[in-house]
């Protein structure tokens, strides 16, 4: 790609973690990187300017949702995705495959594509590899994803194998349909927690050849250990000179372990979803801001955090906002959570060159805690 390149500058000598740099037409992304999710072209409750202030380098938007509303042609007519949403940095668009299978009511699926009903108005729609690629070409993101079939968990072997077969065939068709040289196209490795299927899918996608490789279909109900075991089977197969993206992950514990396994990019709705639900990330764990313990607390959400919420407001005030149903509460909690995630990723990038990634739990004990942990 003419204006795009990926390079690895450092590797941690004690694990598979690596520090890199992905250059796109809309700016560079230092990796490992976390992408906030703006499903419909907006990170919920946060303006693009506020998003940039959290340290975010790149954001994600979704093909399925943007095609339903307002439509890719509308986005293109209004200047393309970057101008339309007011974000000048890099953007990645998911192909919509996961949403079709999780949100849409499936009418039929075959080797050619999927016919489904919109979750918005019940309209019958069709999405196939060529159409998913065309929509993403029209939207104009810097990184686009191949259309895939994400199998449920658990599922029988016949269903799993069929999903992997379709994913590989559809990936080849996406590459053939891809028309823009200023966009990277990533293939998506599927296969559930079946190591044989995962390795086979990865190898076949590599044979087709993509600009980067994602691991999809995790964080859908498997255990943390199953997720990491799967990554340890797949990541060593993926090309060392191309970015590796773990889709839909996750909790700080998952991010840390996945970086150690060699993953470069992540996305997840957790920072903003938790923020909207009065749940705040801190190095020591999660804070539940509706709890009585915060009512008279004059401390910031996190001492030393540079975010707007921590610099201006107390826990007591932010609790008040949630208890009063004020919109500002979710916004401030989301700003903090997004900043927390970016600071965690930044610190990991700093430690990798010296082989010190293993010290992260000292500064961020939350990376050793499961999702059930809450501080207060």
> What is d(CA 207, CA 91) in angstroms, rounded to the nearest whole number?
26
What does the pLDDT read at residue 103? 67
What is the tens place of the pLDDT at every residue in 280-310? 999 999 999 999 999 999 999 999 999 999 9
Average pLDDT over the chain, rounded to an integer: 95
At residue 76, does pLDDT exceed 50? yes
Please give the residue that has the higher pLDDT: either 74 or 153.
74
Checking if the pLDDT of 39 tops 50, the result is: yes
Question: For the stretch 327-336, what's the b/e string if a residue is b when 16 or more beta carbons lie within 10 angstroms of its beta carbon?
Answer: ebbbbbbbbb
End-to-end CA distance of the chain: 48
Residue 373 has pLDDT above 80, yes or no: no
Quick one: three-class SS letters along 180-199? CCCCEEEEEECCCCCHHHHH
Domain range list for the chain:
5-268, 277-368
Q: Quote the distance between the C-alpha of residue 107 and its chain's center.
A: 28
91-112 per-position pLDDT tens digit: 999 998 778 777 667 778 899 9
Checking if the pLDDT of 1 tops 50, the result is: no
pLDDT at 371: 63
Confidence band, pLDDT 50/70/90 cuts, at residue 375: low
pLDDT exceeding 90 applies to what percent of the chain?
88
Q: Which residues are catalytic?
A: 94, 267
pLDDT at residue 100, rounded to an integer: 79
pLDDT at residue 68 in the model: 92
pTM for this model (two decimals): 0.96
Is the predicted pLDDT of residue 344 greater than 50, yes or no? yes
pLDDT digits (tens, 9 = 90+) for 117-145: 888 888 888 999 999 999 999 999 999 99
Instruction: Give the per-residue pLDDT at 4.
Output: 73
Question: What phi, psi does 8 have (nearest 5°)?
Answer: -105, 125
Mean per-residue pLDDT for 346-366? 98
pLDDT recorded at residue 96: 82
In this structure, how many other beta carbons lie within 10 angstroms of the beta carbon of residue 89?
A: 18
| DSSP-derived secondary structure for 287-335 | EETTSGGGTT--S-SSTT--SHHHHH--HHHHHHHHHTT-THHHHHHHH
The Cα diameter of the chain in Å comes to 61
What CATH number labels 5-268?
3.20.20.105
The number of C-alpha atoms within 13 Å of 190 and in the hemisphere containing its C-beta is 27
Mean pLDDT of 230-244: 98
């Amino acid at each position: 790609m003419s204006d795009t390149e990926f390079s690895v500058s450092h590797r941690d000598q004690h694990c598979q973690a690596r520090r890199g740099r992905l250059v796109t037409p809309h700016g560079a992304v230092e990796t490992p990187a976390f992408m906030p999710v703006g499903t419909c072209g907006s990170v919920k409750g946060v303006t693009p300017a506020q998003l940039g202030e959290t340290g975010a380098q790149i954001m994600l938007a979704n093909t399925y949702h943007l095609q339903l509303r307002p439509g890719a042609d509308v986005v293109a007519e209004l200047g393309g995705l970057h101008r339309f949403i007011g974000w000048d940095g890099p953007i990645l668009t998911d192909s919509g495959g996961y949403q079709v299978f999780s949100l849409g009511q499936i009418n039929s699926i075959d080797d050619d594509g999927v016919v489904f009903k919109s979750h918005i108005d019940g309209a019958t729609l069709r999405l196939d590899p060529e159409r998913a690629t065309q929509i993403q070409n029209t939207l104009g993101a810097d990184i686009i994803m191949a259309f895939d079939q994400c199998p449920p968990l658990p599922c029988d072997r016949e269903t799993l194998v069929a999903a992997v077969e379709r994913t590989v065939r559809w990936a080849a068709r996406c590459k053939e349909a891809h028309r823009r040289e200023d966009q990277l196209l990533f293939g998506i490795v599927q296969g559930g927690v079946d190591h044989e299927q995962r390795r086979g899918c990865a190898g076949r996608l590599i044979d087709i050849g993509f600009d980067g490789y994602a691991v999809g279909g995790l964080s859908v109900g498997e255990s943390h250990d199953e997720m990491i075991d799967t990554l340890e089977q797949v990541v060593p197969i993926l090309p060392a000179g191309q970015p590796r993206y773990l889709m839909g992950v996750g909790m700080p514990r998952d991010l840390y372990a996945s970086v150690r396994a060699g993953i470069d990019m992540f996305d997840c709705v957790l920072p903003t979803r938790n923020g909207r639900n009065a749940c705040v990330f801190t190095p020591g764990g999660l804070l539940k801001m509706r709890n009585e313990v915060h009512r008279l607390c004059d401390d910031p959400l996190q001492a030393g955090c540079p975010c707007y919420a921590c610099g201006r407001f107390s826990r007591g005030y932010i609790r008040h906002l949630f208890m009063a149903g004020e919109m500002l509460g979710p916004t401030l909690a989301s700003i903090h959570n997004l900043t927390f995630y970016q600071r965690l990723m930044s610190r990991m990038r700093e430690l990798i060159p010296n082989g010190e990634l293993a010290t992260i739990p000292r500064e961020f004990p939350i990376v050793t805690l499961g999702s059930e942990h809450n501080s207060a």
